C-alpha cells in the first residue's frame, strides 16, 4: 500500500476512534488503546507509520455497554459490525466501519459481510488460573473461531504465496468446514460466547483479548496493567491507555521500542482493494 493512501486510511480510522472516545466519555465507558495502536501511541505518539488498522480494548462489561449504546448513538456515517448483525462477519469482537469506503483483506475477499475501512473493538475476558481449564477453554474457542471463519467463506490459505503452504493451511481447516455443517450459525455463536465468558464471574489475575488474529493464550495480560487508565497523546488528540502499558507491551512484543526489520513492516492485513 502506498504511504499516501495508507495515511488517508489512518486519518479515517482516527476519526472513528474519536467517535468511540466521544461516546465512551459521554457515557463513562472505560476503553483503552491496545495492541499495535497502544504500541504506536508509546513509540510514535500516533500510528505506527506502516500500521493499517486501529485497536481499542474494553473489559467485557464495558464492551457490552458500548455495543448497546453505540448501536443508537454512533454517527450515521459509521456502521457497528458484530457477528449478530452481519451474517458475513465471523469474529467475537466488533468493528466500526466507515460507510461508502472499501477495504478488502485477502482472507475475506469471498465473504458477503461489510468490507469498509474499520477499527477494531476487542472485549477482554477473564483468563482462568488452572492449566487444565486453559487447555479446555482454548481448544473450544479456537474451534468455534475457525468454524465461524469457514461458515462465512473466509480463505485464510490465500495469505500464502507458496502453493505447498496454501495446501497445508487448507487441509488444516477441512475439519472445521465439516464441523460447521453440524450446527447453525446461531448455535456456534451461542457456544462461543458462553465459552469466552466462562470464567468472568471468577477472580483471577489475568485477562485476555478476544482477537481474530491472536491465538488463545498468546497474549495474557495481568489485570493490574489496566486497573488504572491514563491519557496519552495519539496523533492530534489523546486517548486512554493502560497505566501499566510498559508491562503490557513487553509481554506482547518484547523489546517494543526496537523497530522491526523493514521486511516485517506494512500491510499485515494484506489489503487488496481500497476505496476512500
**Which distant-in-sequence residues (6+ apart) come within 8 Å of 164 by Cβ?**
none
**What does the domain layout of the chain look like in residue ranges?**
3-129+206-275
The stretch 108-136 carries a mean pLDDT of 95
pLDDT at 176: 94
CA distance linking residue 69 with residue 215, whole number of Å: 29
Average pLDDT, the chain: 94
Q: Which tens digit of pLDDT belongs to each residue from 14-64?
A: 999 999 999 999 999 999 999 999 999 999 999 999 999 999 999 999 999
pLDDT at 268: 74
- Which residues, in sequence order, are bridge partners of residue 102? 275
Q: Rounded to the nearest 5 degrees, what angle is found at the Cα of 240, between the Cα atoms of 237 and 241?
A: 120
Pick the CATH number of 3-129+206-275 from 3.30.460.40, 3.10.150.10, 3.30.10.20, 3.40.50.2000: 3.30.460.40
Q: With a cut of 90, say whether residue 263 has pLDDT above it.
A: no
Locate cell 492449566: which residue? 131
What region, left, alpha or beta, does residue 270 occupy, with left being phi > 0 and alpha being psi -120 to 50 degrees? left
Amino acid at each position: 500500500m502506498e504511504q499516501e493512501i495508507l495515511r488517508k486510511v489512518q486519518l479515517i480510522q482516527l476519526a472513528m476512534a474519536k467517535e468511540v472516545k466521544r461516546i465512551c466519555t459521554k457515557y463513562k465507558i472505560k476503553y483503552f488503546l491496545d495492541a499495535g495502536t497502544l504500541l504506536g501511541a508509546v513509540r510514535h505518539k500516533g500510528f505506527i507509520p506502516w500500521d493499517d488498522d486501529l485497536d481499542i480494548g474494553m473489559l467485557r462489561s464495558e464492551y457490552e455497554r458500548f455495543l448497546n449504546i453505540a448501536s443508537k448513538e454512533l454517527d450515521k456515517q459509521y456502521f457497528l459490525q458484530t457477528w449478530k448483525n452481519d451474517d458475513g462477519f465471523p469474529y467475537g469482537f466488533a468493528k466500526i466501519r466507515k460507510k461508502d469506503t472499501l477495504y478488502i483483506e485477502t482472507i475475506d475477499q469471498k465473504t458477503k459481510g461489510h468490507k469498509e475501512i474499520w477499527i477494531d473493538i476487542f472485549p477482554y475476558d477473564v483468563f482462568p488460573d488452572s492449566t487444565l481449564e486453559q487447555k479446555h477453554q482454548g481448544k473450544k474457542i479456537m474451534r468455534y473461531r475457525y468454524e465461524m471463519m469457514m461458515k462465512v467463506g473466509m480463505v485464510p490459505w490465500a495469505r500464502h504465496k507458496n502453493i505447498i503452504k496454501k495446501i497445508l493451511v487448507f487441509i488444516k481447516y477441512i475439519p472445521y468446514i465439516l464441523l460447521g455443517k453440524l450446527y447453525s450459525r446461531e448455535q456456534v455463536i451461542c457456544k462461543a460466547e458462553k465459552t469466552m465468558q466462562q470464567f468472568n464471574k471468577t477472580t483471577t489475575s489475568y485477562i485476555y483479548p478476544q482477537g481474530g488474529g491472536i491465538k488463545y493464550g498468546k497474549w495474557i495480560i495481568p489485570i493490574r496493567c489496566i486497573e488504572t487508565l491514563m491519557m496519552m497523546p495519539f496523533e492530534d488528540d489523546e486517548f486512554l491507555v493502560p497505566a501499566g502499558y510498559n508491562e503490557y507491551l513487553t509481554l506482547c512484543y518484547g523489546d517494543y521500542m526496537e523497530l522491526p526489520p523493514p521486511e516485517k513492516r506494512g500491510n499485515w492485513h494484506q489489503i487488496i482493494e481500497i476505496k476512500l
